[in-house]
A = this chain, B = another copy of it.
Amino acid sequence: MAKIDRKLLQELREQTGLGLMDCRRALEETDGNIEKAIELLRKKGAAVAVKRSGRTTGEGIVHAYIHPGNRLGVMVEVNCETDFVAHTTDLKNFVRDLCMHIAALKPLYLVPEDVDPKFIEHEKDILRAQLVDSGKPDKIINQIVDGKINKLYSEICLLKQRFVKNDQLTVKGMLEELIAKTGENIKIKRFCRFEIGS
């Protein structure tokens, strides 16, 4: 019988709301894999909620900006380490500026990693097609294409955009200044931007 870590057992109990013995047995049968244990419990008919983990972890702030006329709205979630920092003026000002920035600069993604790779491949094909008759060697063409893709990222990814209130900094740079000022790790977790007709 495998020895089951108490912390793991506690977590499974919290996530499923099930009894100690059921959870222990499920973890034993799945070698301590919590995802598989949940699946096993569900297959056995245990009433485990599908929407698991309503648990709240981390601190932060959710802020929204609705542009006058109600045709454009932005909402952001910014995470930090303590509730104290979440309610400082520094953080409040940052999320307010961030919403304004997103309203104005219309980012589509948070970071380049979020961009659909198929979209990037398609863009690269088009850029290469534009350069194919230039007579430039392949290596140079690839460099130009990579440069243009980087420029594209800095147009559509929030963290790479120049900050609307201070174009000496990117949004990532602004965030780093805030981290230095507050002494806490701060992350822009997500954002959304709704505009009528877009």
Closest B residue to A129 by CB, please name it. Answer: B43
Instruction: Tell whether, in the assembled complex, residue B66 and residue A66 are in contact, meaning their CB atoms are under 8 Å apart.
Output: no
Interface bits A165-198 vs B (CB < 8 Å: 1, else 0): 0000000000000000000000001101011111
CB-based contact A73/B66 at 8 Å: no
Q: Does A123 contact B (CB under 8 A)?
A: yes
Inside 8 A of A8's CB, which chain B residues have their CB?
A: none
Size class of A's contact patch? 35 or more
B56 and A196 within 8 A (CB): yes
Q: Does A50 contact B (CB under 8 A)?
A: yes
Within A52-86, the residues touching B (CB, 8 Å) are 53-66, 70-73, 75-77, 79, 86
Question: A196: which of B42, B62, B66, B123 is its contact (CB, 8 Å)?
Answer: B62
Q: Is A156 an interface residue (CB 8 A)?
A: yes
C-alpha spacing A49/B43, complex, angstroms:
51
What are 28 A-B residue pairs whose CB atoms fall within 8 Å in the complex?
A: A39-B126, A42-B130, A44-B130, A50-B123, A50-B155, A51-B156, A55-B197, A56-B71, A56-B196, A56-B197, A60-B71, A61-B70, A61-B71, A61-B196, A62-B70, A62-B71, A62-B73, A63-B66, A63-B70, A64-B64, A64-B66, A64-B73, A70-B86, A73-B75, A73-B77, A75-B75, A189-B194, A192-B194
6 A-B pairs with the lowest CB-CB distances in the bound complex, closest first:
A56-B197, A64-B64, A62-B73, A43-B129, A77-B194, A192-B192
